[in-house]
Amino acid sequence: MQFHILGAVQAQDFSAAKWALGLRIKNSTDENIEKVFCEGNILRTHLMRPTWHFIVPENIRWMLELTAPRIKPTLASSNRKLKLDDDLLSKSNATIVKALQDHTYFTRQELKKVLTGIGINTDVQRLAHIIIWAELDGLICSGPLPGKQFTYALLEERVKKTRKLSRKQALINLVTNYFKSHGPAQLKGLFLVVRTHS
């Protein structure tokens, strides 16, 4: 399934995002797209901006390293209102990593129980921000779907180590993926992509 040339595909609405892939990939079906997602050949995480995207494993690390530093400041104001400071996010990150070790896949509600168990208050907004932060830190990503329940997995257990890219090479990759997946595209689109992540 030739998904890698698309770079990243917005996947906030999972069903619609699968449909979007199906329109672009020859001979694909809902079942085989969901199968490759469950197998980890397509991942779902927060990158590019604070919303979910589909991405292939070989691109997830360099793209997170490129985009996360631009996304985190957009969450800072909300984090302050939610009383999520660096110490708490460090504690929640460590707790989530420990909970997901050895290919353990937890749903959001299961992670909520784990965090609540160590005294971290997790209403809907706080939990969402805690999990997004762990994704942006490159600690977790999507796991398989047991039934229709989304799960989270450790990124290091789900994705093989890849060569670290320089910022320049990451930007080149981002631009190349943009033109391959959006062609015909205009230079103003290129400038927007580069400006957003430079």
> Is residue 141 assigned to a domain?
yes
Q: How many domains does the chain have?
A: 1
- 86-145 pLDDT, tens digit each: 999 999 999 999 999 999 999 999 999 999 999 999 998 999 999 999 999 999 999 999
Q: At residue 2, does pLDDT exceed 60?
A: no
Which pLDDT belongs to residue 179? 60
135 φ/ψ sector (left φ>0, alpha ψ -120 to 50, else beta): alpha
Which pLDDT belongs to residue 1? 46
Please give the Cα distance from 67 to 38 (Å, whole number). 25
> Is residue 184 assigned to a domain?
no
> Is residue 196 assigned to a domain?
no
> Is residue 179 assigned to a domain?
no
Which pLDDT belongs to residue 84? 97
Give pTM, 2 decimals.
0.84
> Is residue 33 assigned to a domain?
yes
Q: At residue 192, does pLDDT exceed 70?
A: no
Provide the residue range defining the domain that includes 31: 4-170
> Is residue 14 assigned to a domain?
yes
The HSE-up count of residue 42 (CA atoms within 13 Å, CB side) is 26
Reading the block at residue 158, the tokens are 């789900």
> Is residue 185 assigned to a domain?
no
Q: Bridge-partner residues for 52, per DSSP?
A: 46
User: Do 48 and 59 meet the contact criterion of CB atoms below 8 Å apart?
Assistant: no
> Is residue 156 assigned to a domain?
yes
Which pLDDT belongs to residue 189? 57
- 44-68 pLDDT, tens digit each: 999 877 889 999 898 899 889 888 9
